Amino acid sequence: MRLATAALFLSSTALFIGCTDSSSQIHPDQMAATSKKPTNVGSVVITGGVETDPQDRGRPVVLIGNALGVTPKVFRDAFSGVTPAKSGPPSPSHARANKKILMDALGKHGVTNNRLDEVSNYYRYRPQDGEIWTFVPATAKATIQNDKVVGIEIIESGSGYTTPPNISIVGYEDTRVIAEIQFSTNLQKNGRVVSLTLK
């Protein structure tokens, strides 16, 4: 699955960056609707967790920055010099100029051209098709004893979360569960859920 409101396409030969207004950003509840929610009592429902900073216009900067081994601010500052293509792919010269701006800023932090291409391609998405960036939903299982939730276990950590998702348990909506996510340079583990704690 892939996400809406901005496009960041980087390849070894060209750079395409397009942005739309952030007001069109997909709400986390819409993202959750892409998969069937469990309805059995005791089932764990995980929603949201794909919010982005308004200043990033829908780009998952927290994921991109951490995957590159830099802070989101470093990537955000580097990207601020880029001039997005407003409609369609940019000209070759425009693409090269944008790529140079990024590499001049990120190269100081040890980011190579190949790594920038790899990360950008991994998080490539098409906003016009309502896509979401590369994202694997987390799953979990609750343990219930004497009609009370006594534990919760992560089954699949998922990846691609930008913020901690919301956790609820069918039939036990008053039970509060706090999720913690972790970022990594490992693309398959970047933005994964690492803990679920009953409160």
Q: Which residues pair with 193 in a beta bridge?
A: 181
Instruction: Give yes or no for residue 19 having a pLDDT over 60.
Output: no
Residue 112 lies in a domain: yes
- Greater confidence (159 vs 9) lies with 159
Q: Do 11 and 74 reside in the same domain of the chain?
A: yes
Domain boundary among 129, 158, 174: 129
Least confident stretch, 30-44, 63-77, 106-120, 185-199:
30-44
Same domain, residue pair 109 and 19: yes
Nearest-angstrom CA–CA distance, 47 and 169: 11
What pTM, to 2 d.p., does this model score? 0.81
Q: Which residue range is the domain that position 123 belongs to?
A: 6-23+56-129
Domains in the chain, number: 2
Query: Based on the domain organization, do 115 and 38 belong to the same domain?
Result: no
Position 38 confidence tier, pLDDT thresholds 50, 70, 90: low
Q: Are residues 164 and 190 in the same domain?
A: yes
Which pLDDT score, from 0 to 100, does residue 37 have?
Answer: 64
107 and 10 co-located in one domain: yes
Are 18 and 102 found together in one domain?
A: yes
pLDDT of residue 95: 86
- Do 83 and 169 reside in the same domain of the chain? no
Predicted local confidence at residue 106, as pLDDT:
97
DSSP secondary structure letter of residue 185: S
Q: Please state, in angstroms and as integers, the Cα–Cα distance from residue 27 to each residue in 3, 9, 38, 100, 119, following that order.
A: 10, 22, 20, 33, 24
Write out the H or E segment, with its range, that includes residue 122. Answer: helix 113-122
Instruction: Give 86's contacts (C-beta < 8 A, 6+ positions apart).
Output: 18
- At 52-106, the pLDDT tens digits run 999 888 889 999 999 999 999 999 999 998 887 777 677 888 888 999 999 999 9
Q: Are 94 and 18 in contact (CB under 8 A)?
A: no
Cα–Cα distance between 107 and 88 in angstroms, integer? 27
- Two structure tokens written together for 102: 């990024």
Give the pLDDT confidence score for residue 83 in this predicted structure.
Answer: 86
pLDDT of 186 strictly over 90: yes
Query: Do residues 145 and 158 both lie within one domain?
Result: yes
Weakest-pLDDT range from 27-31, 42-46, 77-81: 27-31
Residue 58: predicted pLDDT:
84
Please check whether residues 139 and 71 belong to one and the same domain: no
Question: Rounded to an integer, what distance in angstroms lies between the CA atom of residue 82 and that of residue 67?
Answer: 19
Residues 142 and 188 in one domain: yes
Q: Which two tokens stand for residue 57?
A: 């216009």
pLDDT in tens, 120-148: 999 988 767 788 899 999 999 999 999 99
pLDDT value at 189 more than 90:
yes
* In a domain? residue 1: no
Is 181 within a domain?
yes
Say if residue 16 is in the same domain as residue 104. yes
Boundary (domain end) residue, out of 129, 144, 166: 129
- In the predicted model, what is the mean pLDDT of residues 168-177? 94
Domain boundary among 129, 148, 171: 129
Note whether 174 and 162 are same-domain residues.
yes
